[in-house]
Structure formats: C-alpha cells, structure tokens
C-alpha cells in the first residue's frame, strides 16, 4: 500500500514499484484511509509519507500499522531531518527514505522490510 496525498507522487511510486515487480494493492491519501485499508488483510507492506492530507501524521499512522496490524512500514518523505527519522524509527518503521527515492533504494528497503 502506498500512503501519499500527492497524486502525481503516488502515481510515480506506483510505477516504480510495479517496475520492481511489486503489486500495489491500493493508494491511500489520509491516515484514516490507510488504517481502514490495512483492516482488509490485502496489505503486505506500506510506503508511508509523513505529512498527509487533513493534517494527518504518517508517523503516528505507521505506529498503528506496525503495532496493531503487524505490517512492515517504510517511511518515504521529504522530511529527513534527524528528529523525523528518529520518530519514524521509534514508531517501528523499518527504513526512512528521502524523496525522491531511487528504484534501488526502494527495492533494498522493501526487501529488508519484507525480509526477502
């Protein structure tokens, strides 16, 4: 699942992931939408933005996805300062990548997150 509120960025991520052989089950643009989709059982991993539509906090959503749904989360954000990185890792994110991430960075982070 991609959690990204910028349509163009979500579309580009979808194309990158599909080029890597991943299947993108859904795209959510808010934290509540992401949590709802996680309940469906079709999500294996999450690419999560930090700043979401409606003022949502992607790191708090990541915390719920990790601790309540057992999903591996990779945070992908323009905010890569030490404080944001530390918050994301403390929330349980497996990796924190800066935007834009290369296909190699995405592939490595997802492989590690899914323990492939």
pLDDT tens string 77-99: 998 899 999 999 999 999 999 99
What local confidence, expressed as pLDDT, does residue 56 receive?
82
What local confidence, expressed as pLDDT, does residue 116 receive?
52
Q: Which residues is 77 bridged to in the sheet?
A: 98
Q: Which helix (H) or strand (E) holds 109?
A: helix 103-113
For the chain, the domain total comes to 1
Instruction: Map residue 5 onto helix, strand or coil.
Output: coil
As a whole number of angstroms, the distance between CA 61 and CA 91 comes to: 9
What local confidence, expressed as pLDDT, does residue 67 receive?
96
Model pTM above 0.85: yes
Maximum separation of any 2 CA atoms in the chain, in Å = 34
**Sequence-ordered list of residues with C-beta below 8 angstroms from that of 62, at least 6 positions apart, any chain:** 46, 48, 73, 75, 88, 91, 92, 93
Residue the block writes with tokens 């080029």? 19
What does the pLDDT look like over 25-52, one tens digit per residue?
999 999 999 999 999 989 999 999 999 9
Per-residue pLDDT averaged across 107-115, rounded? 90
What local confidence, expressed as pLDDT, does residue 7 receive?
95
Return mean pLDDT, the chain.
93
What local confidence, expressed as pLDDT, does residue 80 receive?
85
Residue count of the chain: 116
Domain with 33 in it: 2-113
CB 55 within 8 A of CB 73: no
CATH code: domain of residue 11: 3.40.50.2300
């Amino acid at each position: 699942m991609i959690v990204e509120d910028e349509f163009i960025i979500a579309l580009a991520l979808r194309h990158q992931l599909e080029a890597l052989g991943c299947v993108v089950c859904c795209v959510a643009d808010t934290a509540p939408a992401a949590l709802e989709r996680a309940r469906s059982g079709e999500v294996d991993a999450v690419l999560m933005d930090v700043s979401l539509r409606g003022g949502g906090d992607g790191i708090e959503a990541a915390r719920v996805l990790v601790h309540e749904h057992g999903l591996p989360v990779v945070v992908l954000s323009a905010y890569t300062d030490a404080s944001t990185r530390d918050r994301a890792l403390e929330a349980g994110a497996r990796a924190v990548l800066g935007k834009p991430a290369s296909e190699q960075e995405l592939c490595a982070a997802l492989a590690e997150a899914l323990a492939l």
